[in-house]
Structures are given as C-alpha cells and as structure tokens.
C-alpha cells in the first residue's frame, strides 16, 4: 500500500519538520488543498504542505489505521557507510581469529553448521565456496576447515548476501566489539527524536532487518545515542523470512497481533517496499545520503522521505 504521488519534494520547499510537536497549533494546508482537517487523517496519502512556526514544510500524513511503524536499519535508521566501512570490515579482519578462538564453543559450532548447510544450498552458484564436513584428523584439517569457513564468509560478504547463516555469525562476532566499547552504532539524527514522539503518540515501533536480532540489539544497546533499546517494541530478522518476500510481512503482522494494513514499513530498498506493499502494508522509501539511487519510476511511484521528521501523525495532534 503505497502513498500515491509521493515524488521528490518540490525544490522550493525544505522538506523538514524538525519537531512534530510544533505542528498542531499552526498547522494549515498550504499547497495542494488536499482537504484534510487538522487532527484528522487525510483521505489520500499524498505529501501535504504545512505551516509550522512560520515555515512551510512538506510532510507525509500517516494513515489513521497505522498503529505500528516497522523500521529497516541499514540505509534507514543508520548510514550504509557505518555498516560497510565499520561493521563489515570488522568481520573480514577478525573472522579467522574469531573461529580459531571460539571453535570449540557450542554457539560457534552452530554457526558453522548453519554456514555449511547454506554452502550446500549455494553449491550451484558461480564462485561458491564449499565448507567440508567436520574434520577428524588433527590440527592441519582444522586449519583447512577454518580457512574454508573464512573464504565462504568473505565470498558471501563480497556479494552482500543476507543469508541467516552469515548474519548469525556476524551478530555473534560484533558482540565483543560492541560490549567492549570498540564500536558504537550510528543513527541518523532525526531517528531517536522521531521514534520517541511516535511512541508518545501511542505507536508501536518494531525493527525488521536482515541483520540478526542479536546484532540489532547490539546496535540499539550500544549506540552513539546511548542505550536506546527501550525505544523498540520488538525485533524481526530473516528467521521470519526474507525482506523481499511478501509472506514475511504477513508473518510479522501475525506475530505482532495486528493486520498488515496497520503497519507502516520504512525502508531504503524498493524491492522490500514492493514485497511489503503486496502484503497490504503501507510503505515509504527512505532517501538518505549514501543510499543507492532510485529510478525516476521509483521516485514517482513511492512516497519518499528524507527524514523521519517528515512523517506526520494526524491522530496525535
């Protein structure tokens, strides 16, 4: 369910509503005559222009039926650069040593089993790296096995694959980096204030990322904004299904206990937006510095926001 007509903002506007609490007193329709009353959901979900504190701004009105905001992480709450330049290199630089140190541990063995199973499923793919069965004959075999896992992980990462197996190992590896204070997760500056306001307005806020739930909790627990885990009502990862499959969004709604049309999903990836929309979820595509570009058709088709502050919750006025 996309908000029609949500193209890029007219260049004459600065699409910035820094503080939704500023809006109610002075809110007025300024540009498109959409006919919605202040404090009521607009019949169509087009961008609307409002006056707040004497400034004209373009915002997207969230449909009244929405009670849950579902957030992607990479490219939506968090810069892609943080993931690509900090989190992923940490894995590549440390995976061999991590495997050597943790090999005997139950958790590590489960991660290896999952990676091996994934490698079997991937065996038909170009360049796929197999992981042999568990070694029985001493240290040399073990080193060969560890190298095969390292090569498999690096191959998957070179393709930015979102397999549960890869994401599970990554989440376990990041634990040490976050808890020791070596890494703090970055969030775009509009994220935390907006999420606080949505929650004050009665919205539930959930995360749906390809990153494992454990990794998600590390990001929210150890961020440059401090521990903001309490701002999240729940987490979903690829264990519920892949983000480009509609069924995943039905399962998420079912798990939350709401209808799919009660959910607004914010993501930077149009394939994910399309899958969610097919399940009758409301979607908006988030345009952030460093994100992949969108085609003209995508810009026209999807409602776009460049900041969470551009979402207007009419019911909360």
Binding residues for substrate: 209-210, 243
The CA distance from 114 to 239, in Å, is 12
Using CB under 5 A as the binding rule, whether residue 237 contacts Mg ion is answered as no
Q: Residue 232 CB: number of other CB atoms within 10 A?
A: 18
- In 3D, which of 290, 288, 284, 289 has the Cα closest to residue 304? 284
Going by the annotation, the residues of the binding site are 72, 74, 209-210, 243, 268
The CA distance from 232 to 185, in Å, is 15
State in angstroms the smallest separation of the CB of 196 from ligand L4RZE5RM.
20
The smaller minimum CB distance to ligand L4RZE5RM, of residues 6 and 211, is found at 211
The CA distance from 1 to 44, in Å, is 12
State in angstroms the smallest separation of the CB of 288 from ligand L4RZE5RM.
11
Residue nearest to ligand L4RZE5RM as judged by C-beta position: 211
State in angstroms the smallest separation of the CB of 171 from ligand L4RZE5RM.
7
The smaller minimum CB distance to ligand L4RZE5RM, of residues 7 and 221, is found at 221
State in angstroms the smallest separation of the CB of 174 from ligand L4RZE5RM.
7
Contacts of 298 (CB under 8 A, 6+ apart): 270, 285
The smaller minimum CB distance to ligand L4RZE5RM, of residues 87 and 108, is found at 87
Burial of 124 (0-12, 13-18, 19+ CB in 10 A): exposed
- The residues of the shown chain that bind ligand L4RZE5RM, judged by CB under 6 A, are 72-75, 83, 87, 162, 167, 170, 209-211, 215-216, 219, 243
**Which tokens sit at 69?**
């905001």
Residues in contact with Mg ion by CB under 5 A are 72, 74-75, 268
């Amino acid at each position: 369910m996309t908000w029609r007509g949500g193209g890029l903002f007219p260049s004459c506007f600065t699409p910035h509503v820094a503080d939704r609490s500023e809006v109610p007193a002075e809110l007025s329709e300024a540009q498109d005559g959409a006919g919605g009353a202040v404090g009521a959901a607009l019949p169509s979900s087009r961008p609307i222009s409002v006056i707040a504190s004497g400034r004209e701004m373009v915002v997207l009105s969230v449909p009244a039926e929405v009670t849950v905001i579902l957030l992607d992480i990479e490219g939506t709450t968090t810069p892609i650069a943080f993931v690509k330049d900090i989190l992923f290199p940490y894995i590549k630089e440390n995976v061999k040593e991590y495997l050597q140190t943790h090999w005997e541990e139950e958790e590590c063995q489960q991660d290896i089993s999952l990676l091996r199973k994934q490698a079997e499923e991937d065996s038909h793919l170009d360049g796929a790296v197999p992981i042999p069965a568990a070694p029985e004959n001493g240290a040399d075999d073990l080193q060969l096995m560890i190298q095969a896992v390292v090569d498999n992980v690096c191959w998957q990462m070179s393709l930015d694959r979102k397999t549960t197996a890869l994401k599970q190992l990554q989440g376990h590896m990041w634990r040490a980096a976050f808890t020791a204070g070596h890494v703090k997760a970055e969030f775009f500056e509009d994220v935390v204030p907006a999420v606080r306001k949505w929650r004050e307005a009665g919205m539930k806020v959930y995360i749906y990322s390809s990153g494992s739930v454990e990794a998600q909790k590390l990001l929210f627990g150890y961020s440059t904004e401090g521990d903001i885990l309490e701002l999240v009502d729940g987490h979903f990862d690829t264990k519920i299904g892949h983000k480009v499959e509609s069924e995943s969004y039905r399962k998420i709604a079912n798990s939350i206990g709401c209808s799919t049309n009660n959910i607004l999903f914010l993501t930077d990836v149009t394939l994910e937006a399309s899958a969610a929309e097919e399940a009758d979820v409301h979607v908006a595509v988030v345009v952030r510095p460093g994100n992949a570009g969108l085609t003209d058709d995508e810009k026209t088709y999807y409602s776009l926001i460049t900041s969470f502050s551009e979402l207007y919750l009419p019911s909360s006025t």
